[in-house]
Amino acid sequence: MRTAESVFYDIRGLKYHVRHWPATGADARRLVLLHGWMDFSASFQFLVDALGSGWEVFAPDWRGYGLSEWGRSDCYWFPDYIADLDALLQRIQPEAPVDLVGHSLGGNVAALYAGVRPERIAGLVNLEGFGMARTHPDQAPKRYGLWLDELREPPQLKSYADFSALADRMQKTNPRLPRERAEFLAQHWGRRTDDGRVVLRGDPAHKIINPVLYHYAEARACWQSINAPVLWVDAAESDIQKRMKLAAEDYADRRNAHRNLRYVTVEGAGHMLHHDQPERVAQLIEEFLRELAT
């Protein structure tokens, strides 16, 4: 298992934690990994272990996750992730475009950012982060009302008896996850509370609904502005399309918004494909990015 070190940056007034896996070779390329919703940077450990030694890898904990400082508002706003990423890349690799990999929420952020700052991205790998369900204006009143209700009575995170119980929960959610990996993730994902129980290392405010409706046309316009080649990776056993109620035509339209896209499906994996098939995902990333460098 490759050993990571913790680096902390002051990003837009928050103490941001970045997990850094140094490379052993002198000609190493930098790679930035962005985790998903209610996840954390150590989630990429198995993927990093499967990469060759020529990669210097950085993976931030988004604001309010892992070891990064929590936000100072009562909820979280999606554009902050884009601004945080812009500031982070100025610290990690300011002098040249970067290779960027995002999973789920991280994939959504990465894809939007790649269209907003196309000159900053050399290659983009999107793992199951293909936008949200379309919305309609008549959903707004109910959505704002639910947001106000949740601000009054904020959601809470479930606690577990110990780290083993948290690992049990992870395996129940993802039966493909081996026990050894579940126990590793639980130790990083959870923290002890004063009463000895274990809760996730995350701000419960992430569970508060976003009152602003998702505007698909705006997201698509950003995707159309991406200059970098894109590797779009989904998982054969993922339920994300079903959960977002994406018809096949809608899913295809999202791919078609990218001018230079390669599309691959990973077999034997669900939404957490970097847990289920890290070796295959690492192979796809390396082949794609190294091809861009030739």
Q: What is the pLDDT of residues 166-215, one digit of tens each?
A: 999 999 999 999 999 999 999 999 999 999 999 999 999 999 999 999 99
CA distances from 78 to 174, 216, 287 (A): 26, 14, 31
pTM: 0.96
Q: How far apart are CA 235 and CA 31, in angstroms?
A: 22
**235-255: per-residue pLDDT in tens?**
999 999 999 888 999 999 999
Other CB atoms within a 10 A radius of the CB of residue 196 amount to 9
Query: Where are the domains positioned within the chain?
Result: 5-134+214-293
Q: How far apart are CA 263 and CA 206, in angstroms?
A: 30
pLDDT in the model for residue 27 = 79
**120-137: per-residue pLDDT in tens?**
999 999 999 999 999 999
User: Domain spanning 5-134+214-293: which superfamily?
Assistant: Alpha/Beta hydrolase fold, catalytic domain (3.40.50.1820)
pLDDT in the model for residue 196 = 93
**176-187: per-residue pLDDT in tens?**
999 999 999 999
* Bridging pattern class, strands 29-34 and 98-103: parallel
pLDDT in the model for residue 52 = 87
Tell whether the model's pLDDT for residue 53 goes beyond 90.
no
Query: Is the CB of residue 129 less than 8 Å from the CB of residue 106?
Result: yes
